[in-house]
Amino acid sequence: MPAASIRHQLFIDGRFVDAESGETLASINPHDNTPIAAVALAGKADVDKAVAAANRAFPAWSRMAAADRGRILLRLADLIEADAEALAQLESLDTGHPIRDSRALDVPRTAACFRYFGGMADKFQGETIPVEAGFLNYTLREPLGVVGQIVPWNFPLMFTSWKMAPALAAGNCIVMKPSEITPLSSLRIAELMQEAGLPDGVVNMVPGLGSEVGQYIAEHPGIAKVAFTGSTATGRRVVQASAANLKKVQLELGGKGPNIVFEDAFLPAAVNGSAWAIFHNQGQACIAGSRLVLHEKIADAFLDKFIALAQSIRLGNPLDPETEMGPLTSALHRDRVLAYVDLAREQGGEVLAGGRAPGGELARGCYVEPTIVRARSYRDRVAQEEVFGPFVTVLTFKDDAEAMEIANGTDYGLGSGLWTGNLQRAHRMARDLHAGMVWINSYKRVNPGSPFGGVGQSGYGREMGFDAMREYTHVKSVWVNVDAQIPPHFKR
Ligand code: NDP
């Protein structure tokens, strides 16, 4: 993609504009730490403009026929598909996602999400409720108003669609903060939205610092809801800030996904699925299967194959179609991940594979080798804290009860998986896992129709499916006296 076609300004009220302060921040290619573009860095004044524009756009957008809103999203899905290669290149350049994943996963999933909610717009409806005689009672599903959306750097393109599509289908307007580390694909989506016919002001994008712009969005009195994806610590700050005007909050936070392999699992599938669970996107996924919980009878046989597979993963330039794992998204994050390798050793853990930044040509980038660490206890920090990198912690168990104790032994509760040939056990574990999502004989499946979100310290609220439409609407109950005779309650 030619540099000239990379959008690097804020998107406010249907126009690409510089930040009020004139400040910019370099978006960095994590493959070699070279700058890609100087992106305008929003401040509070820009957020105020964006909120004002979104509030102006809201009455017309929310009253537009739902099918017409849907049609714009459907058109956008088509435009994303037509622009697929450029979007994939941009995503890989900015984030380090291997191009084969950007092509096969990020871009198609983004289009699918807009298409799903485009179709949903005129199918999401209220109810009539059988109340007492003489009354008609029905509910309206109404949009909230202007919603603030804070998108992180791990799946910027896909998460832009997950947040935007249901909000728009339901009739809300948006002020989005893409991560200033990886804003390029989101800004391209803004451009495609204009082409799809989205009215000015309905969507606004203000990449800026989380501590300033993110915080201000969470506080802003002109914003009715904030939807946040990121760390649990920052999620707490968002909740505190949101108290200023009691805005609705939706949180998609961290995880420490247990991926349990029982002694009766079909091992070849479990090995492949477990590698996908942790190493896809360099492990930078809230639902990553970052705790590999193995039955002691098959642990050695499993690990032999799993280590060999991890060591064969091809690291390299994300733009090379042969690359299977790219760099982490930033140097800061690479260092954070490597610090966990030191911590594992300090706590008596054993590094079974990886644990280093590769040398040679890749030394300039933010790479970390696929890393497998055996921990002494599920209470160790490397078995409790989200590393968010290609780093899996191995634990073993003797029986189902111990597997469950380990699996539920963190404060998180987002993704989880299990591999077994025993049907009863599979459903029993699915029932008892403290998690928002359970995958049986598979891991990390997502679909726009299937609710996505967590429990406990992994947050609350759901993205995707009908649940997402509920999150972006409130329900109004309307009572109509059709022919009820109501005797006076007070006697004079
Ligand atoms: P943060 O939670 O700090 O950042 C996530 C997003 O929130 C970013 O866009 C960030 O902006 C923004 N943000 C930061 N501070 C505030 C604030 N006070 N109010 C509102 N928004 C804010 O995560 P990091 O990027 O620092 O990553 C740290 C760890 O968080 C990772 O290692 C991982 O464990 C977890 N994480 C989880 C994600 C998930 O998918 N659930 C996604 C990203 C991170 P800015 O980039 O400017 O700081």
Q: What is the pLDDT of residues 382-401, one digit of tens each?
A: 999 999 999 999 999 999 99
Confidence of residue 491 (pLDDT cuts 50, 70, 90): confident
Residue 485 has pLDDT above 70, yes or no: yes
Residue 415 has pLDDT above 80, yes or no: yes
% of the chain at pLDDT higher than 90: 98
What mean pLDDT is predicted for residues 27-51?
96
Instruction: Note the pTM of the prediction, 2 decimals.
Output: 0.96
Query: Rounded CA gap, 135 and 255, in Å?
Result: 47
CATH architecture of 3-253+454-477: 3-Layer(aba) Sandwich (3.40)
pLDDT by residue (tens digit) across 296-347? 999 999 999 999 999 999 999 999 999 999 999 999 999 999 999 999 999 9
10 Å CB burial of residue 487 (0-12, 13-18, 19+) is exposed
Tell me the average pLDDT of the chain.
97
Closest C-alpha among 390, 334, 389, 323 to residue 363: 334
% of the chain at pLDDT higher than 70: 99
Cβ 318 vs Cβ 96: under 8 Å: yes
Query: Rounded CA gap, 475 and 92, in Å?
Result: 40
10 Å CB burial of residue 27 (0-12, 13-18, 19+) is buried
Is the sign of the CA dihedral 425, 429, 432, 437 positive or negative?
Answer: negative
Q: How far is the CA of 227 from the centre of ligand 1 (A)?
A: 13
Residues facing 203 on adjacent strands: 174
Closest C-alpha among 107, 123, 32, 18 to residue 70: 123
pLDDT value at residue 251: 98
Residue 120 has pLDDT above 70, yes or no: yes
pLDDT value at residue 356: 96
Residue 168 has pLDDT above 50, yes or no: yes
Q: How far is the CA of 196 from the centre of ligand 1 (A)?
A: 30
Which residue from 159, 209, 231 has its CB within 8 A of the most atoms of ligand 1, so it is best to mutate? 231
Choose the catalytic residue: 113, 173, 286, 366: 286
Helix axes 267-279, 299-312, angle to 10 degrees: 50
Residue 83 has pLDDT above 90, yes or no: yes
Which atom number of ligand 1 is nearest to the Cα of residue 208?
47
Q: How far is the CA of 203 from the centre of ligand 1 (A)?
A: 22
Residue 258 has pLDDT above 60, yes or no: yes
When the candidates are 3.30.1330.20, 3.30.390.10, 3.40.309.10, 2.70.98.60, the CATH number that belongs to 258-440 is 3.40.309.10
pLDDT value at residue 423: 97
Residue 19 has pLDDT above 60, yes or no: yes
Q: Is the CB of 214 under 6 A from ligand 1?
A: yes
Q: How far is the CA of 152 from the centre of ligand 1 (A)?
A: 6
- Token output for 53: 């524009």
Q: Is the CB of 251 under 6 A from ligand 1?
A: no
In the chain, where the domains are located: 3-253+454-477, 258-440
Residue 4 has pLDDT above 70, yes or no: no
For every residue of 174-195, DSSP letters joined together read EEEE-BTTS-HHHHHHHHHHHH
pLDDT value at residue 166: 98
Range in 4-8, 187-191, 395-399, 428-432 the model is least confident about: 4-8
Confidence of residue 3 (pLDDT cuts 50, 70, 90): very low
What mean pLDDT is predicted for residues 28-45?
96
Radius of gyration of the chain (CA): 24
pLDDT value at residue 1: 53
What mean pLDDT is predicted for residues 73-85?
98
Confidence of residue 262 (pLDDT cuts 50, 70, 90): very high
Q: Is the CB of 234 under 6 A from ligand 1?
A: yes
Is 252 considered catalytic here?
yes
Residue 106 has pLDDT above 70, yes or no: yes
pLDDT value at residue 7: 85
Query: Phi and psi of 41, rounded to 5°?
Result: -110, 110
What mean pLDDT is predicted for residues 368-381?
97
